[in-house]
Structure 1
């Protein structure tokens, strides 16, 4: 049995360090099933280690009592309202996953923790998974492949909160219930620096209160903890875990010595007021230059220094000032950067500024925004910072001498009346804080050490912090509407106010991606180009709506942009006045909707995704610039779609404009076009390798490596080449450049059998996606078994285990519909009639035969086999009532209808005048149901409402998730096996009957 006394050894094994006393106390409480309401820990004492304490305590409860009696949630969701900081927390989680690798655990205690966690996850799973959720990062639509998988999820407020409330940003409606279930039940949500996420904290408390029905159904509920030394919500004494200098240094130990050094190191700070000229955004840029000059004044001695700004505009200006003064000695870090650049930028910054890294031999400077305030593992010897509310300043000085190493440099807080008297980011709190600091520092000098901060907090007036935003009360009526995901309500309640409150002025965002297109291809014809590679979050950057409009219009933006996801923003109307040509761009609503050319910047709406021509500019290696390229000498934004890490198989779009967006040599364009002229569509094997190699010689890594791999892969026939379609009337290629068709190259092998990012959005396409035909009996039996296993590992009640097992077993029986079977037999109705009923055809959905099969089978658009499955289940219940003894038949019916995320609360109506009868031999009986012309079951909305009342909104979603993840998991395993079963004879569905009234042991 894992005792709490073993936690220090576990901590040493996975981190190489001694735990602080507060970390040991937290682990002890978690082992007892106690989750504190508030964790109050000073900066520098490893707050993210709650991840380690939770993993140990969860394993202890599993080893001691088993899955059914565990006392902690399966998922730890670590939420922080800073984009970049999510990465460092995720890195800790990822390292913990590696330390728990069963093949090479970090030590004997880690081996026991790994074994306990894997006992729950399953022999074919990792003991622990790590998931990162934030804008600009692509993760699988199915980010956990089983509901009982222990996992650490690190997320921003927006990404977690929107998923919790059934309206996940970037989540398709069909996947929304799965996301809501995994975020809303069996989860411990830790909100780091809760003082900047108070609206979310209030909403979480309301969600917990609204989960009574789920609790009454014995479904695992949500728990949450606020973690901040500056949170307004203090919690009761019994629910609070606090760390102080006294508690962390009371015992003589290496950890106490570390805490003593970190909490007592002096951080001398001076105050200075500056004045700047200019109007609007120019004032903020001028302030950035002033901040850079102050840093240059004391950053001559070797050390790590930082300029910390309140706005992206000031940060850009400060960086450009420092870069001109000492090229190559400064870095810029904001949240406005694509993941492609971030993956190269952040490691370089951490190499120089990470806590504990060797002292530099020269002066190094980092310019950053609020993105480094919370949790960033960075260590500066001194900083120059804009004045901000006291809580923000405390966080910024938490990055100063983080490891307790003294330095002679003196930090500086700069106040600018022109920008701070009426601060658009923080309001009156900045001015109040400045006046208070002036009074608290007779000699214009302060100490922001731990003791100095405690004293300042005791003396500070209440309005030295930002006024809390008004957060609307989350009602059951809101959740009832959000739970309706198919179809979505015509008038929907936005979730943003429940995550960030009502902001002053608001901060709507859009998402921008860049793709390279030939200049002679009009945006209205970009659809074919975009179909070559799906747009992913990995290649987008979140940008304030006002700035995006100004960029499209070609006018200077007057938006004052904070690097806080929930911050307000000053916006002007200049972005709606086009300064000449509107940038080449389209609105992108997903692969199923045609892209719409942007005719006017004013048509751009919040949360939209736009695809901009790479040669329009707007982004550089440091992130979003908001500046258009000079048409005479364009500096294109690299088109990085082929490099997205989420692709199931590596692919490459071969076109000159894409290569040219990466090229840096002046003569690259002529050489690229010369190589392209040698493409022969009739001899792809002979001409493609040389073209790929020519392109590789003209572009930097990593694209050059992909070109070389493709060239070699074509020669060895490991890569396939696909040509675009031709126009029927003219015979011209639909996607072409300089008279040659754009070729799509695809690697034959899959990168990973578990890296699939497909959801089950499309019932027919997933029926086509297995490697070989899969009989209905095999798939149905396996899904039922998986659903039962998932539910038992979650510790659900026997009647719920039985319900999801039956739903999994019968979810696809509607595929026996004659026309659907014909579609799965490549459109051959006679072959379907003579063959064994299939669940999957074995065709790739992109295969022309698969595309044509649907038409040949004469299935009407919008047909859902789930509707037929549900009618067959009702018929089976009448013929074999013993199968459903002790089970909620309405629940089984609903889970069958909803197993593709539809039917919440209605399946789409169709007009199917020729719907045939469906007959199936199943469980020893023959059941038949007549064709249904309109597909709509008008009793289903009432059933949906009753089940939500019975199991709760999140509870019903969890039961649905169990069946759907089982379905997707078996489809993935069938594809990995690649040899499912052929179309030969197989036993009828009754060959493996379920025992009445219970699940298999």
Structure 2
């Protein structure tokens, strides 16, 4: 990689200008120079809201490009994870990352030499045909969801939440299948930079990250690991007295015209105390009235009402809609205002549709149609971080001081010359002496008391006290003030002990006694992880028990999931009250609940087609991180998100598959309920009949505008399903797909790839990946050898028979020409029958047999670390960490496999080998090397596919 273009810190201003059309702030250029010249980031960035701190992404990526040619000496991580402890609404980091990605993709047309060199350097890391940058928002994990890193050295920016990144880092990715858990952990726990935004919201996770950093390095392992660092970004740092000073603004920054305008903009907020009960109908009415008064008096173009609970937000939203004629109840009169509801409890598809209609009025720098009615946004805490809103006015429920400052960061964000009026509303019960909020404890009262003490006293008794919550004004008020008692409670995470790390790294199987992940992410009072709900119209309560077959063909995808607390899902399925009483804060403590209570509507838990956890469950069986598929007829949601009191059917968006999956279209009467005449024409085409051949069926469907191309396949026989599925035979060749997890998905492709060719292809790919990922040459050679031998267990005559559909004669005739991939595709039911016909025992794993064969291979003796080679072979499908489901009565008693208690290599059994390798390399670096082999396997398989 010696020909990688050279970049220096002097190039950063030109790159920034080319990316964004304006020069960097002084602090941005200063930080870029510091990082590039030292190779390290400061531990903390203390930057106020609106100062452009998401430019940390630009700096991190520029640093990576500057070091792309250093090989094993590279200090800049290839993956950058921007983490926010809020569900993303308009994620400024994601938007910025997309801007960077698009600019790099067309760098050659930019006219900026520095940007062109940066893109070329990043593409060298990505590998052949790889993009300069991949950008991904990680939301609810799903089994076999698309890769967010096609190669182990692909420059990548991830934007996600503490729950999603933290659970993956700790080998327990929420919603991620057990076999994929080590891949996610390895890619996030090694060669990754974590930018923890608004770190004061995620203190427990920051503490856990400190422990992870310790266990990655000597003396907890024998070798220095790949680059990895955590940087906290916050306007209110809470470092200890002995911690290094954070990186922050200087006088040069504060005198910059753009920043000075943002910092000095006044934001007068009136303090309003209510006598109404908190969180009830009167509270919602009072907040709605406050919004109406601000609208009538100041005529803002955009106004936000921000509250602390989803249920209260929904109640305020309904009242504001009714008051301003946006609920369809005005006899044809145009609405006086447009009203929308924004919470984190909404499906990705619905959120994107909602925001796409209003982003031109909400985002910083947006333009507004002067003839359009005012826009009122009712929201929860979800807009406190990651939302690049620039609002004209604000009404907010009382919150801790740090949360209020975040909310006011969305008010006149760019310092426009407008009045920017605001109201802070508190009910007496929220700020009384005995107030103890489930989310914020006593901090509401403490903050209210402090605000009342510093507020300017009104000239007239009937007027309300006013506090200037502008950035500079608030900084002056807080000078010398201990803010800890006024800010959100920051609990301490439990110590992540070595024993915890040992248990967490056991992913196959996950131990029955398992550390509680929420404690390490959110502290000791945290509740369990959210669950994800998916609505499908073609499922009914009666057919739900047989949903596995249809979900295997059309599995849930991230765009159709809605995250809710576990307790809320249980209450909703039981039709209990208060299922909407959830905040938009991850990991808050769970309200009192009878967890053992029976009854309620069933749901179908989806954990992957092959998982034992997939199946019908009842509310008391729901577990943290579950993906629940329910009939659309259950209700519970609408275009604005979680609505547990609604009985209206929820729109089914299951066919809107993401780009990396094959296109599908379900043909079921429930999905054509509003088009009965169209279904009448389709019904004969999806019924089992010998009168129509496949071509005639496809032609008939195309005549009804249902066409997925000439290579489509119509699946008619689906167990327990009163319909059919039209699907493309292959997924898009340019899209990433999940790493193969099982023998069926990895071997029954129908491509007929010879075993020797496949082994050579994967070895070449793994060697290139290992070099790009910065592995030393001797370790890269070991990784390549493991890749070369990984599928040798497929030489078993029974496996070869299976690849030929269970045809023993075909396998005998082809003896001497072993395959890695089947010569014909097989549906799941056909594959199961062929597996039995071939004589393979249930649970048989070819990778366990690959380890046995590698022990007798003379090439193993030439490895620098033969134990590592064996480990990477045995775990290349995610099993064997450290136990295998494999069993084989035909096994040679003198050559025991890694699944056996009496397996021995160098005096160690398989679990002991695991512990020795973790001590040698560290848990996360070992997992990264596993990911390198698995990614090489998949990319080589992808390249071997015959064109459709």
Give per-residue Cα distances to partners, 1:618-662, cap 9 Å, x unaligned. Answer: 100000101141xxxxx31111111121552211110111233xx
CA distance in 1, matches of 2:742, 2:245: 46
1:595 deviation in Å? 5.5
Match of 1:474 among 492, 496, 510: 496
Question: Alignment partner of 2:636: what SS?
Answer: strand
> Do the aligned residues in 2 keep the contact of 1:86 with 1:156 (CA within 8 Å)?
no
1:803 matched to 2:782? The reply is yes
Match of 2:484 among 443, 455, 462: 462
1:541 deviation in Å? 0.8
> Do the aligned residues in 2 keep the contact of 1:389 with 1:464 (CA within 8 Å)?
yes
Question: Alignment partner of 1:84: what SS?
Answer: coil
Match of 1:641 among 654, 658, 663: 654
Flag the 1:270–1:136 CA change in 2: closer, same or farther, 3 A.
Answer: farther
Give the structure 1 partner of residue 743 of structure 2.
763
CA distance in 2, matches of 1:887, 1:242: 46
Match of 1:100 among 95, 100, 104: 104
Question: Alignment partner of 1:351: what SS?
Answer: helix
Q: Which moved more, 1:485-494 or 1:206-215?
A: 206-215
The two structures have a TM-score, normalised by structure 1, of 0.85
1:874 deviation in Å? 1.4
Give the structure 1 partner of residue 665 of structure 2.
652
1:876 matched to 2:845? The reply is no
Match of 1:610 among 628, 632, 641: 628
> Do the aligned residues in 1 keep the contact of 2:142 with 2:177 (CA within 8 Å)?
no
CA distance in 2, matches of 1:675, 1:816: 46
Give the structure 2 partner of residue 324 of structure 1.
322
1:82 deviation in Å? 1.1
> Do the aligned residues in 1 keep the contact of 2:143 with 2:175 (CA within 8 Å)?
no
Give the structure 1 partner of residue 304 of structure 2.
306
1:136 deviation in Å? 7.5
1:846 matched to 2:827? The reply is yes
1:895 deviation in Å? 1.3
Give the structure 1 partner of residue 714 of structure 2.
721
CA distance in 2, matches of 1:138, 1:285: 41
1:479 deviation in Å? 0.9
Flag the 1:469–1:561 CA change in 2: closer, same or farther, 3 A.
Answer: same
Q: Which moved more, 1:134-143 or 1:305-314?
A: 134-143
1:752 deviation in Å? 3.6
Give per-residue Cα distances to partners, 1:181-215, cap 9 Å, x unaligned. Answer: 10001111110000001111111111111112487
CA distance in 1, matches of 2:89, 2:541: 42
1:225 deviation in Å? 0.7
> Do the aligned residues in 2 keep the contact of 1:141 with 1:171 (CA within 8 Å)?
no
Flag the 1:448–1:841 CA change in 2: closer, same or farther, 3 A.
Answer: same
Give the structure 1 partner of residue 443 of structure 2.
429
Give the structure 1 partner of residue 866 of structure 2.
889
Aligned length: 903
1:57 deviation in Å? 1.8
Give the structure 2 partner of residue 626 of structure 1.
644
1:522 deviation in Å? 4.2
Question: Alignment partner of 1:299: what SS?
Answer: helix
Give the structure 1 partner of residue 537 of structure 2.
516
Give per-residue Cα distances to partners, 1:775-815, cap 9 Å, x unaligned. Answer: 11111111111111112222222221121111111111111
Flag the 1:441–1:304 CA change in 2: closer, same or farther, 3 A.
Answer: same
Give the structure 2 partner of residue 920 of structure 1.
none
Q: Which moved more, 1:139-148 or 1:775-784?
A: 139-148
Unaligned runs of 5+ in 1: 251-255, 630-634, 695-707, 726-732, 737-741, 918-928, 979-1001
Give the structure 2 partner of residue 697 of structure 1.
none
Give per-residue Cα distances to partners, 1:546-565, cap 9 Å, x unaligned. Answer: 32222212232266311111
CA distance in 2, matches of 1:162, 1:783: 30
Question: Alignment partner of 2:779: what SS?
Answer: helix
> Do the aligned residues in 1 keep the contact of 2:89 with 2:351 (CA within 8 Å)?
no
Give per-residue Cα distances to partners, 1:397-449, cap 9 Å, x unaligned. Answer: 11111111132352010111224432222010110000010000142111111
CA distance in 2, matches of 1:541, 1:642: 16
Flag the 1:13–1:906 CA change in 2: closer, same or farther, 3 A.
Answer: same
Give per-residue Cα distances to partners, 1:729-765, cap 9 Å, x unaligned. Answer: xxxx7422xxxxx1111124533433323x3211243
Flag the 1:77–1:767 CA change in 2: closer, same or farther, 3 A.
Answer: same
Give the structure 2 partner of residue 382 of structure 1.
393
Match of 1:899 among 859, 876, 889: 876
CA distance in 2, matches of 1:693, 1:583: 40
Question: Alignment partner of 2:128: what SS?
Answer: coil
CA distance in 2, matches of 1:114, 1:647: 24
1:43 matched to 2:20? The reply is no
> Do the aligned residues in 2 keep the contact of 1:384 with 1:411 (CA within 8 Å)?
yes
Equivalent runs, 1:498-517 vs 2, <5 Å? 498-503=520-525, 506=527, 508-517=529-538
1:494 matched to 2:532? The reply is no
Flag the 1:509–1:518 CA change in 2: closer, same or farther, 3 A.
Answer: closer
Q: Which moved more, 1:486-495 or 1:604-613?
A: 604-613
Match of 1:446 among 467, 480, 485: 467
Q: Which moved more, 1:461-470 or 1:72-81?
A: 461-470
Equivalent runs, 1:955-974 vs 2, <5 Å? 955-974=925-944
Give the structure 2 partner of residue 729 of structure 1.
none
CA distance in 1, matches of 2:243, 2:528: 36
Question: Alignment partner of 2:188: what SS?
Answer: helix
1:451 deviation in Å? 1.6
1:125 deviation in Å? 0.6
Q: Which moved more, 1:297-306 or 1:79-88?
A: 79-88
> Do the aligned residues in 1 keep the contact of 2:580 with 2:644 (CA within 8 Å)?
no
> Do the aligned residues in 1 keep the contact of 2:715 with 2:725 (CA within 8 Å)?
yes
Flag the 1:640–1:27 CA change in 2: closer, same or farther, 3 A.
Answer: same
Give per-residue Cα distances to partners, 1:639-697, cap 9 Å, x unaligned. Answer: 1111121552211110111233xx4xxxx557746764676543365567667776xxx
> Do the aligned residues in 2 keep the contact of 1:557 with 1:575 (CA within 8 Å)?
no
How much is the aligned-residue C-alpha RMSD, in angstroms?
2.8
Question: Alignment partner of 1:586: what SS?
Answer: strand
CA distance in 2, matches of 1:745, 1:755: 21
Flag the 1:276–1:688 CA change in 2: closer, same or farther, 3 A.
Answer: farther
Question: Alignment partner of 1:408: what SS?
Answer: coil
CA distance in 1, matches of 2:794, 2:402: 59
CA distance in 1, matches of 2:830, 2:616: 32
Match of 2:366 among 351, 357, 360: 357
Question: Alignment partner of 2:555: what SS?
Answer: coil
Equivalent runs, 1:114-513 vs 2, <5 Å? 114-135=119-140, 140-213=145-218, 216-233=222-239, 240-244=246-250, 246-250=251-255, 256-277=256-277, 283-300=279-296, 301-328=299-326, 329-361=338-370, 362-420=373-431, 421-443=435-457, 444-458=465-479, 459=481, 462-503=484-525, 506=527, 508-513=529-534
Give the structure 2 partner of residue 953 of structure 1.
923
CA distance in 2, matches of 1:181, 1:945: 16
> Do the aligned residues in 2 keep the contact of 1:532 with 1:653 (CA within 8 Å)?
no
CA distance in 2, matches of 1:801, 1:147: 13
Give per-residue Cα distances to partners, 1:147-190, cap 9 Å, x unaligned. Answer: 11111111210111111111111111111111111000111111
Give per-residue Cα distances to partners, 1:521-566, cap 9 Å, x unaligned. Answer: 4433434443441122321111122322222122322663111113
Give the structure 2 partner of residue 821 of structure 1.
800
1:86 deviation in Å? 7.1
Give per-residue Cα distances to partners, 1:476-528, cap 9 Å, x unaligned. Answer: 11111111111221221121111111126x36532211111465844334344
Give per-residue Cα distances to partners, 1:342-386, cap 9 Å, x unaligned. Answer: 120122232221111124524221011111111311011110001
Give the structure 1 partner of residue 332 of structure 2.
none
> Do the aligned residues in 2 keep the contact of 1:827 with 1:856 (CA within 8 Å)?
yes
CA distance in 1, matches of 2:145, 2:92: 20
> Do the aligned residues in 1 keep the contact of 2:349 with 2:559 (CA within 8 Å)?
yes
Give the structure 2 partner of residue 735 of structure 1.
721
1:594 deviation in Å? 7.5
> Do the aligned residues in 2 keep the contact of 1:539 with 1:644 (CA within 8 Å)?
no
Higher relative contact order (CA 8 A, sep 6+): 2
Flag the 1:127–1:674 CA change in 2: closer, same or farther, 3 A.
Answer: closer
